[in-house]
Amino acid sequence: MRPSRRAVLAGLPALAAFPRLALAQRSEALDGFAWQPVQVTAHALASFAVGEPERRDFGPLTFLGGLELRGDRREFGGISSGVIEADGRAFIAASDQAHWILGRFVADADERLTGIENVRLAPMMAPDGRRLRDTRQFDTEGMTRIGSRLFVSVERAHQILRFELGPNGPAGRATVVPTPDDFRRLNSNQGIEALGVLPPASRFAGALIAIAEHPPAGSEPDRIPGWILGPQPGRFSVQRSRDFDVTDLGFLPGGDMLILERRFSPLWGVALRLRRVAIGSVVPGAVLEGETLIEANMAYHVDNMEALMVHRARDGRAILTLMSDDNFSILQRNLVLRFAYRE
């Protein structure tokens, strides 16, 4: 989402091992367009809490470092979602201006972030061969993966698109995935923001799950709609509270769902919240609330946090990597935050 208000200031796919991507910095054809290398400077964040450089624990989460990224191409930024390799290094991200961004995080043996490398980008391709950003499907937000296919949600158009994943990254044109008619009732710029695949622990394992950013006009203001999309489809809701809206979702190794949320206030700025929801409660008709793991405002190094990626460390910890959408604004930052969470 890229609302004007934010310019004022500022699962399975995430957990399962999948073939390593060749992320060398080289140009490759993508339906008439080329992958372009991006030189990215990564400035390490000394702490998560502003003014508390020694603090590492935040409730059940342990801060494993952060980065502020600056790229040498104007298309770099606006990161709204992503999927990460099982080792927590290679990732594929989507910008909200319909670009793929591929790269590798650099981290030490404890999963602490130290840098980023081998970054490249290319435009997503529409079904008709045009750049997606040149169509009404330009506002790409959520992303998940099933096998060799990537699924991307599109705000405003209220669609889900499918892309094929080759050995060097996404390739080819989008295919429109059938979706429920009530997707079209979502607010224009507050459509499907979070997309995932229900894990084996779910009754609906393997089905896509989609959650909107905000309740649509005319609906209950404290109920954010969500859908299970598959052989047994159904609709559920996320309990909205304290003016937070949904920006992404992910799944812990044990199966429970994480919901990433963002709040914006012209007076108080941005804040993030992360909630854990028992996977057994994610069923049609449910109203999901869950347990708050962390809530952080401008007293912490946060921005418009929109992407959540999860992988499992060798010692069993769940590693959560969050990335921000800077809306391509000089007033905002491209941040990467990494936390460890032991279930």
What DSSP assignment string belongs to 226-288?
EEEESSS-EEEEEE--TT-EEEEEEE-TTS-EEEEEEEEETTTEEEEEEEEE-GGG-STT-EE
Give the confidence band of 343 by pLDDT, cuts at 50, 70, 90: confident
H or E stretch including 84? strand 79-84
For the chain, the residue count is 343
End-to-end CA distance of the chain: 31
Q: Please tell me which residue, 78 or 24, carries the higher pLDDT value.
A: 78
Distance CA 205, CA 327 (A): 34
Q: What residues contact 342, with CB distance under 8 A and at least 6 apart?
A: 60, 316, 317, 318
Give the confidence band of 12 by pLDDT, cuts at 50, 70, 90: very low
Among the ranges given (7-16, 170-179, 235-244, 319-328), the one the predictor scored with the smallest mean pLDDT: 7-16
Which pLDDT value is given to residue 342? Answer: 86
pLDDT at 11 over 70: no
**Domain count across the chain:** 1
Domain CATH code at residue 74: 2.120.10
The per-residue pLDDT for range 292-309, each reduced to its tens digit, is 999 999 999 999 999 999
Which pLDDT value is given to residue 31? Answer: 63
Report the b/e string of 15-26 with b at 16+ CB within 10 A. bbebeebebeee
Specify burial of residue 29 (Cβ count, 10 A radius: 0-12, 13-18, 19+).
exposed
Structure-block tokens of residue 19? 């073939």
Q: What residues contact 267, with CB distance under 8 A and at least 6 apart?
A: none
Q: Tokens 């591929």 identify what position?
A: 102
The per-residue pLDDT for range 230-261, each reduced to its tens digit, is 888 999 999 999 999 999 999 999 999 999 99
Which of 282, 234, 229, 231 has the alpha carbon at shortest distance from 258?
282
pLDDT at 93 over 80: yes
Q: Please tell me which residue, 18 or 140, carries the higher pLDDT value.
A: 140
The per-residue pLDDT for range 158-186, each reduced to its tens digit, is 999 999 998 889 989 999 999 999 999 99
The backbone torsions φ and ψ at residue 93, rounded to the nearest 5 degrees and listed phi first, read -120, 155
Q: What is the dihedral of CA 178, 181, 186, 187, to 10 degrees?
A: 90
The mean pLDDT of the chain is 90
Distance CA 157, CA 192 (A): 10
The per-residue pLDDT for range 98-115, each reduced to its tens digit, is 999 999 999 999 999 999
Which pLDDT value is given to residue 4? Answer: 38
Q: What residues contact 32, with CB distance under 8 A and at least 6 apart?
A: 129
CA 188 from centre of chain: 19
Which pLDDT value is given to residue 16? Answer: 33
Structure-block tokens of residue 207? 């089905």
Report the share of the chain in percent with pLDDT over 70.
91
Give the confidence band of 315 by pLDDT, cuts at 50, 70, 90: very high
Q: Taking residues 61-74, what's their average pLDDT?
A: 97
Give the confidence band of 7 by pLDDT, cuts at 50, 70, 90: very low
Which pLDDT value is given to residue 32? Answer: 58
Report the b/e string of 179-217 with b at 16+ CB within 10 A. beeebeebbeebbbbbbbbbbebbebeebbbbbbbbbbe
Report the share of the chain in percent with pLDDT over 90.
85
Distance CA 150, CA 169 (A): 10
Structure-block tokens of residue 244? 């937070």
Residue 219: domain span: 4-20+27-341
